[in-house]
């Protein structure tokens, strides 16, 4: 389930890409399929080990794109161990809402992006996220949980202040917003018939990608999309 749209975030074989806060690697894997030199970066070494295993499986199955390479790197997004102007493409998907020092992370994202390079940032959308917070404290009051809710304009202003130039934006995952409202209403760590049924629907949708739900979600995303996505460019010197 990709949040970043690679049509708006063009990636060519041989480009250097870093997935900051890669989690379980969904965007890293897509970049690997497209032939990038991928660095999957995260604080969670257990998640990184699983990502590395998947990279190996993809290589064996012939799913690596032309020129593709992949590596994992553990570290802190507030102080990344990379030289200035290293990466052609940088992804930071669903991480800024977890980190108190978001300005420090944004400064690092700018530093490691090459002049002329692109950045994709995604965060939970303001109003669906507020519904989740209203319905459940345990949704966000957990270790490593969400500590803030961004307004789109606030996030874009922070990124512009760091030096980036925005060139596109959209919303994603409209079908997931009602699922999380259900989860928050019944308890994040609990299930009932409705949450199990909805989860099966989401899994079916991801596996089969039927035209009906794909078209429906595209139509609903501007209103109901759970994630806000913004694309930015680091100016040429």
pTM of the model: 0.96
Q: Which of 111, 80, 152 is nearest to 234 (CA)?
A: 111
Question: Is the pLDDT confidence value at 7 over 90?
Answer: yes
- The number of residues in the chain equals 237
Residues 76-131 pLDDT 10s: 999 999 999 999 999 999 999 999 999 999 999 999 999 999 999 999 999 999 99
Asked if residue 135 lies in contact with residue 180, where contact means CB atoms within 8 angstroms, the answer is no
* Cβ proximity of 106 and 162 under 8 Å: yes
Query: If 0-12 CB within 10 Å is exposed, 13-18 middle and 19+ buried, where does residue 20 land?
Result: buried
Q: How confident is the model at residue 23 (pLDDT cuts 50, 70, 90)?
A: very high
- Residue 14 inside a domain? The answer is no
* Residue numbers of the domain that contains 94: 76-233
Q: Residue 64 corresponds to which tokens in the numbers above?
A: 């690596």
Residue 118 lies in a domain: yes
Q: Check if the beta carbon of residue 65 is closer than 8 Å to that of residue 44.
A: no
CATH number, domain containing residue 154: 3.40.50.150
Total number of domains constituting the chain: 1
Q: What is the pLDDT of residue 144?
A: 84
Q: What is the pLDDT of residues 145-166, one digit of tens each?
A: 899 999 999 999 999 999 999 9
User: Does residue 183 sit within a domain?
Assistant: yes
Mean pLDDT of the chain: 96
């Amino acid at each position: 389930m990709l949040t970043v749209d690679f049509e708006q975030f063009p990636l060519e074989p041989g480009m250097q890409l870093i997935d900051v806060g890669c989690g379980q690697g969904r965007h890293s894997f897509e970049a690997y399929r497209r032939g990038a030199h991928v660095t999957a970066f995260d604080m969670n070494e257990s998640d990184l080990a699983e990502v590395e295993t998947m990279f190996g499986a993809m290589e064996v199955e012939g799913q690596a794109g032309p020129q593709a390479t992949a590596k994992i790197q553990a570290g802190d997004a507030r102080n990344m161990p990379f030289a200035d102007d290293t990466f052609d493409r940088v992804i930071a998907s669903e991480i800024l809402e977890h980190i108190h020092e978001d300005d420090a992370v944004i400064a690092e994202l700018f530093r490691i992006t090459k002049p002329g390079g692109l950045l994709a940032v995604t965060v939970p959308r303001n109003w669906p996220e507020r519904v989740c917070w209203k319905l459940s404290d345990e949704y966000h009051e957990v270790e490593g949980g969400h500590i803030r809710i961004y307004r789109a304009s606030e996030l874009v202003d922070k990124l512009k202040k760091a030096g980036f130039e925005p060139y596109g934006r959209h919303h994603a995952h409209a079908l997931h917003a009602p699922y999380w409202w259900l989860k928050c209403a019944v308890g994040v760590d609990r299930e009932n018939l409705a949450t199990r049924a909805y989860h099966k629907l989401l899994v079916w949708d991801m596996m089969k990608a039927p035209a009906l739900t794909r078209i429906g979600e595209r139509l609903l995303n501007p209103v109901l999309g759970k994630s806000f996505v913004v694309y930015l460019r680091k100016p040429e010197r």
